[in-house]
Structures are given as C-alpha cells and as structure tokens.
C-alpha cells in the first residue's frame, strides 16, 4: 500500500479548454491519467465539468507531441538540440532587427499559455526587441467586447462572477451557443431558469439548446443585433422606464446618446431584423419588470463588421436600465479560451501594457523603462490582422508564434498561409506539429498545462493556479522557460526560477493586479481582478462607481454597420461556431481518444427547406464556395437552422475548415475578423 500511495498522485489543475475555468484534481500514476475529479471548492464549477474537461486529456501523452526542436532544411525538418535552435533564432532575429529595425519582427502570444508566459512574451517584444508588434487571439474573438466595455464602463471583463448569473432575474443571451461553448456556465442558467423562474431571452441565428429552453427566442437577420438592441433601449426610455436615479448619479452622456437613437424605432428594427414589434416590446417589458438583467454574449456578436458597436449597444442598454454594480446584473462577454482573458490582461496587445495601461502614456513607459532597464517603444504596434498584411507587403520579416494555430483559426487562411510563405524567418512554438508549423523555419517543442506551473484567468477575471502534474515530455519545455532562453540569447539577463517570480514582477508594475501573489492562490484559492495591494479582490465590479476620473460610466452613441455585400450567386449565409465535444481546430480534442471516438468529424447543418430546394439529404457531400476559397463537408439536415442559413462547426483542420471560406474583412474598431459575415454558394459533390 505504501508503494501504491507513492506512485498515485493527486494534483490540482485548471481546465485547458474554455474560459469558464473549471478547476479539479487530476489523479495520475506515472504518466497515466487515472481520473479527473471535480472538487466542491472549485469556484467556477464546483462538482461539475463538461466532456472536454473530463475526457480531453489524452493529447498530453500523444505520440504526436513535439519532443525535440526542429529546424527546416529545404522542404523537410530535422531534429536539433536546443542550443542550435536557440542560436539560430538569436542570430536571425538580430540580423533582421539590424537590417530592417525592430518593427520588422512580430510576436503572437497564446491564450492557451499562462499569464506569466504572456507577460514574458510582451516583455521580449517590447523590452528586448523594441517593438509593440505583439498580439494574441482575443483579436479573433472578444476584442470587440472589450472595446465596448472600455468605452462605456472602463473594465473589459465580466461584471461579476459566474455564480452571480444565477441571481439575475432575467438573462439575455446574444450570439452565444452557451450550452456547447461554455457548458458548465450554461448549467447555471439552465438551473436558475428551471428552478428559480429566471427569465431567459435568446437571440441567435440558430436554434441551439439555450434557444430551445428560452422563454422567448428571436432569430434576427445576420449582423443586425445592434438595431433591435438600440430600438428596445429607445422604447424603454420613451416609456419612462429608464433608471433615472442611476443615470443621474452614475452615468454621463445621456442626452447625446438619446439623440443618437432617433432612427431606431420599433418599425425600423422590425424592417431590418425581421423581429416583430410585439416581440421587441415583449423584451422591453421583460427587462422593465426584472430587478436585475445580465447579458451574456460571444462570437455571434463580436465577429461582425460592427462587433464593437454591438457590444457597446449591449452595455448602453445595461446602463440605461441601471443594470450594473449589483449581483445578477451586468455584462458577461464569455471568453473562449481558458486564458484568453489573461493573454490580454498581461499585455500581449499592441497598444497596452499589462493591466491595460496604454503604451502611448509616457508615464507608464517610463515605469517600464525603469523596471526593465531598457527603452520601450512609444507607438502602438501591429495587431495580428495587420501583421498578415505586413507579411504580404514585406515590412514584417520575422514572426514568433507560440501556441496559436493561425493557419487554421485566422480568417481567410489561404491569404494567411501565403503571408507565412513570404516571411524571412518564422518560429513556431507548440506542443504539436500544427498546420502553422508547416510554414516555420524553426519549431520549438513546448509543454502543455499539465507539465508546468502558472496561473490562468478565466472569463470572470479569476486568477487560478495550476500545478505541475508531469515532467515535460522529451526535450519539451514550459513556454516561459523557452521565452526566457530566447531573451537571454538576445542579450537579456532574465533569471526567473519559477512563474511566481514573474507574477510578482508583473503585479508590481500593473496597478490592476497589484496584490496578486502566489501564496494567495494556493490550492483552490483564487483572486478576481482588480486586486488591491493588501490582496483584497473584486468579485463584483462597479459597486462603488466606474473606473473613470469622475467615477461615472459613459453612454456611447453607436450606429449600425450594414453587412457586407456579396454577388448574388453567393446566396447562402454561412454561420459558424463550436461543437460541444471539440475545441477550435481540434489539435487537442482530436488527439484525445475519449472525445474523437465519439465525435470523429464535423458536418454542415442545413435547413429542411434548403435541403429540399437543393435536393440534398443528410450524409450528402457538398462543396461550399466563397469568394475566398472552398470547403467540402457532409450535410446534416436539421431544424436548428432556417431558410438559407447554414452552420459549419469550426472544428476541422482539413478540407472542411471553415476559414478556407471566410474573408479578411474585420470589425472596424478592433480588426476582429468578420467570421460571421460570409455568404457562400453550394454545389453537390456526392449525393447519398
Ligand atoms: Fe473545461 Fe469549459 Fe468544460 Fe469547464 S466548461 S470543463 S472549463 S471546457
């Protein structure tokens, strides 16, 4: 028994998939995972997990893991030792910087990596190379939500805790397939709706599970949410239902905002969105009758030409109705990846230092220059959307990506891949030989979350520690160590022995995280930012006002951006999103047998009407063609979609990859690709 106890180990970790941030104990013996055991102390999930958190871990021991650095030789790669790979990287980066300046290099951090690793990536870009060309994948998802919240309430995170959502009298879900994308969070809404009479309204193109459960489900025309949101807000004000005392006391800009709503009548909204006036009035009445409203939204809102403006319209509605600063109220932009919140929080953004301090602020720059002992660049850098254009025009010559599968998850991937081919030097750091790695010059083997220590920040701004379960496989290393090695080869003298030291440095610099220390995050202890110097955290934002000089929020006028226009032959609107079982391009979940055996491939959801018109049945193989590329996929006829609206899950890395079809058009305020604004035509490849 003694021997058995020595060999079986229980370690607390945090899920590496979605932004809910479930934490649990993982039981192991050697490198074998025995079971995943939820723990009542876990703040976001308690005793629940979803199928990914429970069964999605086999990838860690996959034979396909990268275990050695690889260096390109012509068309093939050869294995190399770390020393050779690091020397080559230092030599090439130095040469390109000398020839073309620091801004010829770009850096992309990962929302799969820890906060500490994102901090080091931006420190490498800014402090060692001297460029603000640093970004992360929130550019692909939630940057518009952050923008909408910065404009109106000042903090770009969920207003309260996941638990608080249960207290909302009314929940409005817009463009979020919550039951599949954020399953454990969705169960809280399902429970409150069923047991506590919480009112639920869902707006989506597709009738997913939450839509089926809703008291009212609306299917507005694609890209039109801003219109009905603004019309409902105007109607509420016109009925005298605005929260006057909240606005007088806590909100600026009401008059100008109200003027901006002039055209957003119920009639206009009905015409544009297709939602009946009656339903819009019903929504307004439900909001008026509810003590508290929480709005949950995701990519269906943000991945549009006007994603930031629609996010702003949501926040405007919440301000007008006094729905901030109390449990069960506020904004919940649901973060996709486990640490997409943290990647931005810790400065992997071209215009912000850690804690969202602006790079354009000379005082903030002076602080970093002093702390790091190097000048930091003044002008905001390129975001990852700009970086692709800069690869094409030759101004970006070198790129270092860690843990991002840009060749599949960016929009219009044919264009992205052509950009990679133009780079003079490309470093990809990953745990697998990804699609992106095919274009690299050097590939560095990293360690996944179970092989390292660090912290993740989930969608509710909550810092959680993960503990090392296994030693890094083969010669792979935790990302923070690799970044440090590269920085030191480039002349820095970083000596971090543990991620806790990185966090301490970051927390001392960024006021938002001032009191964050590892000893406060032991085991299942957590902190939600902002964290004061004495370690007091902030589960609920805006209780004592908003983070602006006068403590008042701002109503921010916005206008509807019409959807893109396509030639008539592209007559089908293509929606896209997740499947419950798989995560994004599937690099992890397809390598986890517990999952891939159950859900081996994706399928195109097509409405019975369209199936009849085009004479296809479930199982038929079709080709989708957009102005940007083609994809081939099997059909599944279902009532979940209606009319000429089809839905393709994004979880395919091959011929059915949705981003072979999407465009390079983007939200005008943040450059987040308009993944959801795409029209296609359809051809039958194989009848069933
Ligand atoms: Fe992981 Fe999200 Fe599932 Fe929780 S809900 S187990 S965080 S994928």
Instruction: Specify the pLDDT at position 1.
Output: 47
CA of 524 to the centre of ligand 1 (A): 16
End of a domain among 304, 333, 362? 333
Atom of ligand 1 nearest to the CA of 17: 8
Residues 6+ apart with CB under 8 A from 196: 166
Q: Is 15 in the pocket of ligand 1 (CB under 6 A)?
A: yes
Classify residue 543: in a domain, yes or no: no
For residues 27 and 37, the answer to whether their CB atoms sit within 8 Å is yes
Atom of ligand 1 nearest to the CA of 458: 7
Q: Are 186 and 312 part of one and the same domain? A: yes
User: 89-98, 133-142, 344-353 — which is least confidently predicted?
Assistant: 133-142
Query: What are the start-end ranges of the E strands in 470-515?
Result: none
| pLDDT (average), residues 648-672 | 80
Pick the residue whose CA is nearest to atom 6 on ligand 1.
53
Q: Are 113 and 175 part of one and the same domain? A: no
Length of the chain: 688
Of 268, 263, 291, 292, nearest to 280 (Cα)?
Answer: 268
For residues 181 and 306, the answer to whether their CB atoms sit within 8 Å is no
Q: Which residues pair with 38 in a beta bridge?
A: 24
**pLDDT surpassing 90 at residue 420:** yes
Q: Are 325 and 191 part of one and the same domain? A: yes
> Which CATH number covers residue 625?
2.40.40.20
CA of 624 to the centre of ligand 1 (A): 31
End of a domain among 33, 61, 89? 61
Classify residue 565: in a domain, yes or no: no
**pLDDT surpassing 60 at residue 582:** no
Q: Are 395 and 427 part of one and the same domain? A: yes
CA of 478 to the centre of ligand 1 (A): 22
Pick the residue whose CA is nearest to atom 1 on ligand 1.
53
| pLDDT (average), residues 258-268 | 98
- Sign of the Cα pseudo-torsion (562, 566, 570, 576, in order): negative
Classify residue 503: in a domain, yes or no: no
| pLDDT (average), residues 447-455 | 97
Classify residue 499: in a domain, yes or no: no
End of a domain among 333, 357, 387? 333
Q: Which residues pair with 679 in a beta bridge?
A: 573
Q: Is 45 in the pocket of ligand 1 (CB under 6 A)?
A: yes
Spatial distance between the Cα atoms of 661 and 655, rounded to a whole number of angstroms: 11
Q: Is 42 in the pocket of ligand 1 (CB under 6 A)?
A: no
Q: List, for residues 376-400, the tens digit of each pLDDT value.
A: 999 999 999 999 999 999 999 999 9
Q: Are 106 and 184 part of one and the same domain? A: no
CA of 216 to the centre of ligand 1 (A): 27
**pTM for this predicted structure:** 0.92
**pLDDT surpassing 60 at residue 599:** yes
Q: Which of 50, 185, 298, 584 has the most ligand 1 atoms within 8 A of CB, as the residue to mutate?
A: 50
> Which CATH number covers residue 31?
2.20.25.90
Classify residue 524: in a domain, yes or no: no
**pLDDT surpassing 90 at residue 676:** no
Classify residue 434: in a domain, yes or no: yes
Q: List, for residues 194-245, the tens digit of each pLDDT value.
A: 999 999 999 999 899 999 999 999 999 989 999 999 999 999 999 999 999 9
Q: Are 311 and 356 part of one and the same domain? A: no
Spatial distance between the Cα atoms of 117 and 455, rounded to a whole number of angstroms: 9
Q: Are 235 and 286 part of one and the same domain? A: yes
CA of 359 to the centre of ligand 1 (A): 34
Q: Are 49 and 98 part of one and the same domain? A: no
For residues 234 and 261, the answer to whether their CB atoms sit within 8 Å is yes
Q: Are 285 and 366 part of one and the same domain? A: no
Strand order in the sheet with 398-402: 76-79, 70-73, 442-445, 425-430, 398-402, 105-108, 134-135
Instruction: Specify the pLDDT at position 589.
Output: 67
Query: What is the number of domains present in the chain?
Result: 4
Q: What percentage of the chain has pLDDT greater than the value 90?
A: 79
CA of 445 to the centre of ligand 1 (A): 25
Q: Are 420 and 481 part of one and the same domain? A: yes
Atom of ligand 1 nearest to the CA of 53: 6
Spatial distance between the Cα atoms of 92 and 114, rounded to a whole number of angstroms: 27
Distances (CA, A) of 112 to 502, 601, 611: 17, 23, 38
> Which CATH number covers residue 91?
3.40.50.740
Q: List, for residues 31-66, the tens digit of each pLDDT value.
A: 999 999 999 999 999 888 998 898 899 999 999 999
Spatial distance between the Cα atoms of 280 and 286, rounded to a whole number of angstroms: 10
Task: Given the cut 0.85, state whether the ipTM is greater than it.
Answer: yes
| Domain range for 668 | 572-686
Q: Which of 14, 15, 298 has the most ligand 1 atoms within 8 A of CB, as the residue to mutate?
A: 15
**pLDDT surpassing 90 at residue 142:** no
Classify residue 562: in a domain, yes or no: no
CA of 16 to the centre of ligand 1 (A): 8
For residues 218 and 202, the answer to whether their CB atoms sit within 8 Å is yes
Mean pLDDT of the chain: 93
**pLDDT surpassing 90 at residue 312:** yes
Classify residue 547: in a domain, yes or no: no
């Amino acid at each position: 028994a003694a021997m058995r106890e020595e060999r079986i180990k229980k370690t607390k970790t945090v899920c590496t998939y979605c932004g809910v941030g479930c934490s649990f104990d993982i039981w192991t013996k050697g490198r074998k995972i025995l079971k995943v055991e939820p723990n009542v102390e876990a703040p976001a999930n308690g005793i629940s997990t979803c199928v990914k958190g429970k069964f999605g871990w086999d990838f860690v021991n996959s034979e396909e893991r990268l275990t050695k650095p690889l260096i390109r030789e012509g068309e093939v790669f050869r294995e190399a030792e770390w020393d050779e790979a690091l020397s080559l990287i230092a030599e090439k980066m130095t040469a390109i910087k000398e020839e073309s300046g620091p801004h010829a290099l770009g850096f992309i951090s990962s929302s799969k990596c820890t906060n500490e690793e994102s901090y080091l990536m931006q420190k490498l870009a800014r402090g060692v190379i001297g460029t603000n060309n640093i970004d992360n994948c929130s550019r692909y998802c939630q940057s518009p939500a952050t923008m909408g919240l910065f404009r109106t309430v000042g903090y770009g995170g969920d207003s309260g805790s996941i638990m608080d959502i249960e207290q909302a009298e009314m929940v409005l879900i817009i463009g979020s397939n919550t039951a599949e994308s954020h399953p454990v969070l969705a169960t809280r809404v399902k429970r409150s709706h069923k047991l506590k009479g919480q009112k639920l309204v869902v707006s989506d193109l597709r009738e997913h599970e939450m839509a089926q459960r809703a008291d009212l489900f609306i299917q507005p025309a694609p890209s039109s949410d801003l219109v009905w949101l603004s019309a409902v807000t105007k109607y509420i004000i016109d009925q005298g239902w605005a929260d006057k005392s909240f606005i007088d006391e806590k909100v600026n800009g009401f008059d100008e905002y109200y003027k901006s709503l002039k055209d957003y009548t119920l009639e206009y909204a009905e015409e544009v969105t297709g939602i009946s006036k009656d339903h819009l009035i019903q929504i307004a009445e439900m909001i008026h009758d509810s003590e508290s409203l929480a709005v949950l939204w995701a990519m269906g809102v943000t991945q549009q030409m006007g994603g930031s403006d629609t996010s702003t319209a949501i926040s405007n509605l919440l301000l007008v109705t006094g729905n901030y600063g109390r449990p069960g109220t506020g904004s919940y932009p649901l973060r996709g990846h486990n640490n997409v919140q943290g990647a931005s929080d810790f400065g992997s953004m071209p215009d912000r230092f850690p804690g969202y301090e602006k790079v354009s602020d000379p005082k903030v720059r002076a602080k970093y220059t002093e702390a790091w002992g190097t000048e930091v660049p003044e002008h905001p850098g390129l975001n990852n959307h700009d970086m692709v254009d800069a690869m094409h025009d030759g101004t970006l010559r070198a790129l270092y990506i860690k843990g991002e599968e840009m060749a599949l998850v960016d929009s219009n991937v044919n264009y992205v891949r052509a950009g990679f081919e133009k780079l003079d030097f490309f470093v990809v750091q990953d745990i697998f030989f990804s699609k992106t790695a095919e274009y690299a010059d050097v590939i560095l083997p990293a360690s996944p979350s179970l092989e390292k220590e660090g912290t993740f920040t989930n969608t509710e701004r909550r810092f959680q520690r993960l503990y090392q379960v296994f030693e890094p496989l083969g010669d792979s290393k935790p990302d923070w160590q690799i970044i440090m090695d590269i920085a030191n080869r480039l002349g820095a003298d970083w000596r971090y022995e543990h991620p806790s030291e990185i966090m301490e440095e970051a927390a001392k610099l960024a006021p938002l995280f001032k009191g964050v220390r590892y000893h406060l995050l032991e085991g299942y202890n957590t902190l939600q930012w902002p964290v004061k110097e004495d370690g007091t955290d902030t589960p609920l934002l805006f209780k004592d006002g908003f983070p602006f000089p006068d403590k008042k929020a701002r109503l921010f006028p916005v206008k509807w951006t019409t959807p893109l226009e396509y030639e008539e032959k592209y007559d089908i609107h293509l929606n896209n999103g997740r499947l419950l079982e798989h995560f994004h391009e599937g690099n992890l979940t397809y390598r986890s047998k517990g999952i891939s055996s159950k859900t081996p491939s994706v399928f195109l959801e097509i409405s019975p009407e369209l199936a009849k018109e085009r004479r296809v049945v479930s199982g038929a193989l079709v080709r989708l063609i957009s102005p940007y590329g083609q994809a081939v996929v099997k059909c599944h006829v279902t009532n979940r979609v209606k009319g000429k609206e089809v839905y393709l899950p994004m979880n395919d890395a091959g011929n059915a990859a949705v981003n072979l079809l999407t465009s390079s058009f983007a939200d005008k305020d943040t450059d987040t690709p308009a993944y959801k604004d795409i029209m296609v035509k359809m051809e039958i490849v194989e009848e069933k």
